[in-house]
Amino acid sequence: MRIIKKIHRTFKLHRIFIKQDLKRLMEYKVDFLTGAVGMLLAQAINLFFLSVIFSQIPSLNGYTFEQIIFIYGFALLPKAIDHLFFDNLWSIGYFIIRKGDFDKYLTRPVSTLFAVTVEKFQVDAFGELIVGITFLCVSIPQIDISINFINILLFIIAVLFSTFIYTGIKLITSSIAFWTKRSGHVMYMFYMVNEFAKYPTTIYNKVVASIITYIIPFAFTAFFPASYFLVGGNPLFNIGGTIVMAAALMALGIFVWNKGVSAYESAGS
């Protein structure tokens, strides 16, 4: 009963803020369109870039153009979902703590992490979401993927946990701000590693491949789970790995966050 009430409360709060952000979107249509067109254009240019490459070679490290598009589209989904729901973590890294605005979250009878993240629903993420889904829809009919119940279930699980890999990494790096007042640039550096996830990990050398597999494991947000669907592979590693990495990063992230909250020294004296 308590749990149901809690879930109900969570959804209600999300709904209020989502409604607000959508309202704002309607109010500033031109602004939203500028951002969305920019986002779409960036992806279109990348697509053009890939097509230039594939105009000269039949496959890249054994992957066809369509397969690359599938991995690319897959990579965009968890990125977009994290962007949609956990964007306020960037504000933690950049200014909430520096300006002493974290105080108010501490006077609320809910977890600080929930209070911070529920506040912002980042509509910009729809750009990535739409492009990601389009890429998947275009590439799936061209490649040999069996669409069945288990695969759909595994796909949803993979996307969900991949999202938590993003969130976990943002959580750990944004928490640094509790000690240093500001960690946005550190966040940015780690976050940028996600760009490696768009292509097959096999194109990188050993050092890079092990970094993105074991240390900043963005490879588990796209290539590993996607390649399970593309070429089979061991689900225990490809999907299970994503789950394990997501759980580990989230656990570490929440631990560091809580440590940070108790070390938090409000601005001024």
Partner 1 sequence: MIYVEKLRKEFKKAIKEPGLKGSLKSFIKPKNEIITAVDDITFHVPKGEILGFIGPNGAGKSTVIKMLTGILTPTSGKCEINGQIPYKNRKNYVKEIGVVFGQRTQLWWDLALRETYTVLKEIYEVDDEQYKKRMSFLNEVLDLESFITSPVRTLSLGQRMRADIAASLLHSPKVLFLDEPTIGLDVVVKDNIRNAIKQINENEQTTVILTTHDLQDVENLCDRIVMIDKGKKVFDGAIDSLKERYGQSRELKFIPVNFDIAANLDYEREFNLSDNDIFVENDGHSISVKFNSDKVSVEKMLSYTLSVTHVKDINVGDADIEEIIKDIYKSGVDIGG
Partner 2 sequence: MGKILRIYKPFTHAGFLLAAQYRINFVFFVLGDILRCFITFFLWHAVFTSGGATTFMGFSETDMTVYIFISFLTGAVAYSDGSYIVGEEIRDGNIAMRMIKPIRFETALMFQELGERTISAVMIFIPLAAGVEIYKFVVTGTLGFNIWFFLLYLVSLVLSYLINFYFNICYGYSAFVLKNLWGSNLLKECIVSFLSGAIVPLAFMPAGLGFVLNLLPFASLTYIPVMIYLGMYDVPTILMSFGLQIFWLVFFIFLQRIIWSACVRRMSVQGG
Q: How far is the CB of 133 from partner 1 (least distance, A)?
A: 28
Q: Under a CB-based contact definition with an 8 Å cutoff, are residues 145 and 151 in contact?
A: yes
43 alpha carbon, distance to own chain's centre: 16
12 CB-near residues (< 8 Å, 6+ apart): none
3-state DSSP helix/strand/coil % of the chain, to nearest 5: 80, 0, 20
For the chain, how many residues are written? 269
Considering the complex, state which of residue 68 and residue 113 has its C-beta at the smaller distance from partner 2.
Answer: 68
Distance in angstroms (rounded) separating the CA atoms of residues 79 and 268: 36
Q: With CB cut-offs between 5 and 8 Å by kind, which of partner 2, partner 1, none does residue 157 bind?
A: none
Q: Which residues would be at the binding site for partner 2 (CB under 8 A)?
A: 28, 30-39, 41-42, 45-46, 48-49, 52-53, 56-57, 59-62, 184-186, 188-189, 191-193, 195-196, 198-199, 203-205, 208
Q: How far is the CB of 105 from partner 2 (least distance, A)?
A: 25
Q: With CB cut-offs between 5 and 8 Å by kind, which of partner 2, partner 1, none does residue 37 bind?
A: partner 2
Token pair listed for 172? 């750990």
Distance in angstroms (rounded) separating the CA atoms of residues 233 and 227: 7
Q: With CB cut-offs between 5 and 8 Å by kind, which of partner 2, partner 1, none does residue 179 bind?
A: none
Q: With CB cut-offs between 5 and 8 Å by kind, which of partner 2, partner 1, none does residue 137 bind?
A: none
Q: With CB cut-offs between 5 and 8 Å by kind, which of partner 1, partner 2, none does residue 16 bind?
A: partner 1
Q: Which residues would be at the binding site for partner 1 (CB under 8 A)?
A: 9, 12-13, 16-17, 20, 24, 100-101, 103-104, 106-111, 115, 119, 262, 264-266, 268-269
Distance in angstroms (rounded) separating the CA atoms of residues 58 and 177: 47
